[in-house]
Structure 1
Amino acid sequence: MPKKKKSKSKGASRGDSAGKEKTRKKFEFPEEAIPDYIPPPPVTGHQLLAALQSTEINEREFLGMKLSKHIFQHLTTQEIRDLKVVFDVFDVDNSNTIDLKELRRAMKILGFRVSRAEVKQMMADVDLTRRGCLTFNDFLALVVERQSDSRDIFDELRQAFTVFDLDNEGKITLHTLKRLCREHKVRLSERELRDMIREADHNGDDAVDENEFIGIMLKTNLF
């Protein structure tokens, strides 16, 4: 009969594995491979914020709307406010836009020497989406482009307001209008004078301030 092979004892196998563990070397990173400083992981949104901060913003918020920085390079904030008054006068449907007919009237009010064909071309140049209307930003861009062709209508209207503001109170009252009528011998009834104030008075104080005066003058072309 063939002789049985002697199996290795458990102790021998443990000894062999122990010997292997003794010979196995532990891996260590070389010191020169470890950086002196390891930055923390970026906070969520940090990269987006950094990109926004490094990118020049081409718009500025004013009067509750975003306007191009190009506008502020050519118009003062007071001029922009004045032009908003004109724009709102012709934006009769409160759509925040004006059409070709309204644009032509607005340009005429501002004293621009432009023909019907020129206004139509101006509209086409700015209205790239062919909507048939212009936003306030578009309107300002046209004003900046034709700035040298206009007269300072707002300065004229402010001077006219001072003529009516006899008491230098910054408003025109019924008493003021009666006094002017007497001095210039104009025959208007008190009812007619009240109607004039009511037409221009938007804040309900029974008087007409400078902005309201400019607005009604632009609306009715009384200059």
Structure 2
Amino acid sequence: MIADSMNDETKLMLRKAFAMFDENKTGFIQTDKLLGILGSAVAEGKLTFDQFVNIVGCFMEDEDDEAMAEELKEAFRMYDKEGNGYITTQTLKEILKELDNKLTSEDLDGIIEEVDEDGSGTVDFDEFMEMMTG
């Protein structure tokens, strides 16, 4: 069996790719979803290298996004010392200043104004994620 010869990292990547298609978590994927990705290649019954790369690339992008989200979650937790689910805008200013010491007070105020849309003086993870990923 091919799966037996794969390393754990490759199997994990493939399992995550499979799970993306198995939306109902039944352990099966609908073939029409795969056929949709394959597009015209299905009519020919063959895949070019570029078509193959496009398919695999879809899975790798999602994997990268997932890894980035996890890193940002960890960074957010580090500054959310009380575990309240938010950080203060003052803490965020300090973080931004550490990341780029060329930012002026006006720059920082502008960024905070954009991020803290509701003016609560706090930034939750979703706002933080939006700021960091654009």
| TM band (smaller chain) | 0.3 to 0.5
- The structure whose residues are more often helix, as a share, is 2
TM norm structure 1: 0.29
Larger Rg: 1
- Structure number with greater CO (CA < 8 Å, separation at least 6) is 2
